Amino acid sequence: VDGSSVEVPGGASRSERPTASARRGLDTRLIVSEAVRFIDQHGPDQLTMRQLGARLGVEAMALYRYVPSREQLLDGVVELVMDELYRDSRVDQEAGTWQEYLQRLAHAVRVIALAHPEVFPLVATRPPAAPWLRPPLRSLRWVEAFLGGLAGFGFSTYATVYAYRAFATFLLGHLLLETGTHAIHATAKLNADIEFLESDDLADYPRISALAPELSGGGYEEEFEAALEDLINRLQLVLDQDGPST
């Protein structure tokens, strides 16, 4: 309910008609959030400077006053979406334990990912602005808070870094897989998919056929929860071996 907090003044008309409130007062932030909405609806490949301009009641060339290039616009999309974390109530309040802290953070990121399944692949694969940022933890403010949080709970620097890396890897793998099945193109493509290198017949793969329902079934939520708990247990072991303080 609170995962899609990118506010854009305009209404929901998906025609080329510009919304009244967007007509005047173009602005970098407005452009980026309209891009987010567009990608949520049609996927990143469909996002075109001309189409985005049309939705904002403007020619494509006008966007270049506020955005250096399409590539940087996509970077802005990633940044804006991940910044929804700041508006998520569950990360605001103080956590009592580091386990609780990681739980809250993980769930908040998951909410964002599921709210924007078409954006998440960009979060996962766009080259980060700095080498210390591991997707999907792509914001400096964020990572700073993460490191500070764990340190506050008595993590050594070693344990902090270990936890950071493991946590990012966990989120990336799970959420990319989960959003991949939720994405628009996933279903759209299955219909029209003809393998042209070699045509596969499912009858040749008895084990897959037998397990098809289990393999394709959902259960992402339970999987996420279980793996998150495992990760936390794993970090507990590292903490125990390592001793507290810096």
In the window 128-167, what residues touch its own copies (CB under 8 A)?
128-132, 134-135, 140-141, 143-144, 147-148, 151, 157, 160-161, 164-166
Instruction: Name which of 62 and 143 has its Cβ closer to its own copies.
Output: 143
Cβ atoms of 35 and 52 closer than 8 Å: yes
Whole-angstrom distance, CA of residue 63 vs CA of residue 80: 17
Residue 211 interacting with its own copies (CB under 8 A)? yes
What, of DNA, its own copies, none, does residue 121 touch, CB below 5 to 8 Å by kind? its own copies
Residue 124 interacting with its own copies (CB under 8 A)? yes
Q: Residues 26, 40, 57, 79: which binds its own copies (CB under 8 A)?
A: 79
Instruction: Name which of 14 and 29 has its Cβ closer to its own copies.
Output: 29
Could you tell me the smallest distance in angstroms from the CB atom of residue 143 to its own copies? Answer: 6
Could you tell me the smallest distance in angstroms from the CB atom of residue 158 to its own copies? Answer: 8
Cβ atoms of 234 and 166 closer than 8 Å: yes
What, of its own copies, DNA, none, does residue 24 touch, CB below 5 to 8 Å by kind? DNA
Instruction: Name which of 12 and 202 has its Cβ closer to its own copies.
Output: 202
Q: Other CB atoms closer than 10 Å to residue 199's CB: what's the count? A: 7
Could you tell me the smallest distance in angstroms from the CB atom of residue 59 to DNA? Answer: 3
Tokens of 219: 């259960």
Could you tell me the smallest distance in angstroms from the CB atom of residue 83 to DNA? Answer: 23
Q: How many CA atoms lie within 13 A of 4 on its CB side?
A: 11
Whole-angstrom distance, CA of residue 163 vs CA of residue 134: 12
Residues of this chain, 214-233, that bind its own copies according to CB under 8 A:
214-216, 223, 227, 230
Binding mask 23-42 for its own copies (x = CB under 8 A): -----xx--x----------
- Alpha helix segments (H runs only) across the chain: 28-42, 49-55, 70-82, 89-92, 98-115, 120-125, 140-152, 157-182, 184-191, 206-216, 220-242
Instruction: Name which of 20 and 177 has its Cβ closer to its own copies.
Output: 177
10 Å CB burial of residue 193 (0-12, 13-18, 19+) is: exposed
Strand, helix or coil for residue 208:
helix
Could you tell me the smallest distance in angstroms from the CB atom of residue 23 to DNA? Answer: 9
